[in-house]
Amino acid sequence: MNNQSQAVDGFIKKVFAFLDEKNSQQLAPFLQCFDPANSKIIVNANPFAQPAVFLETWQRAVVQTQHVLTGLDYHVIPGTGTTICSVNGKVRFDESGRDKEGQDSAITEITGAGNAGVGPRAPAAKPRPLWGPYFGISLQIVLDDRVFNGDHNCVIHSFNYTTVYKPDDSLMSV
C-alpha cells in the first residue's frame, strides 16, 4: 500500500515536471507515458485527438509554467486494472513576454548608430522567467495499474486538465 500511494505521488510529480519542461528535447519520454491509441486528453474542456498534438501545442504555444501539487487522492477500481486520480494544484506562467524558446514579440529595430552602445540583448545571458500569480488547476487522470510497479510506459489512459480559478492581475488569458 505504501508503495502504491508513493508510486502515484511520484508519477503525478513527474507529469507536472514534464508540463513545466522548457526543453522540447526532454518531452519524448512524456509522450511515451500516454496510451497512444486510446488516451483521452481534455484541457480546459478542449479535447485532443492525439497525445502528440497536445504536447506539441503545449510546447509551442504555452509559455513556461511552474506547477505545484496541493492535493492528491486516488481510487484503484477493482477488476479494471486502472486507477483514477484526482489531483489539485496551482500553476504560474512566465509573464516575461518570452516563449519557451526565449523569443519575445519585440521588434528589434536598430535605429542607427546612436544605438550602438546598447545593442541587442546579449544572447549569452539566460533570461530568467518572471513568474506571474498562481492559477488553480484540477486534474483527473486515469492510470494503468502497471504504474504501481514503476512502469510508466503508456500508462495514461485519460488526462482531464482544467483551470479552476484565475487571478485577475495576470497577463495571461485562459
CA distances to 77, 107, 129 from 114, rounded to whole Å, are 69, 17, 30
Q: Select from 14-22, 25-33, 110-118, 147-155 the region that touches other proteins (CB under 8 A).
A: 110-118
Residue 129 touching other proteins (CB under 8 A): no
Interaction with other proteins in 40-79: which residues (CB under 8 A)? 40, 42-47, 57, 61-63, 69-75, 77-78
Which of 18, 24, 95, 131 binds other proteins (CB under 8 A)? It is 95
Confirm or reject binding of residue 27 to other proteins (CB under 8 A): no
Q: With contact defined as beta carbons under 8 Å apart, do 19 and 65 qualify? A: yes
d(CA 37, CA 170): 37
| Residue 24 touches other proteins, criterion: CB under 8 A | no
122 interacts with other proteins by CB under 8 A:
no
Give the C-alpha separation, 109 to 101, whole Å: 20
**Residue 142 to residue 20: CA distance in whole angstroms:** 20
How far from 93 is each of 24, 133, 134, 135, CA to CA, in Å?
17, 8, 8, 9
Kindly state whether residue 86 participates in binding other proteins, applying the rule CB under 8 A.
Answer: yes
Residue 162 engages other proteins in binding (rule: CB under 8 A): yes
Nearer to other proteins, 89 or 152 (CB): 89
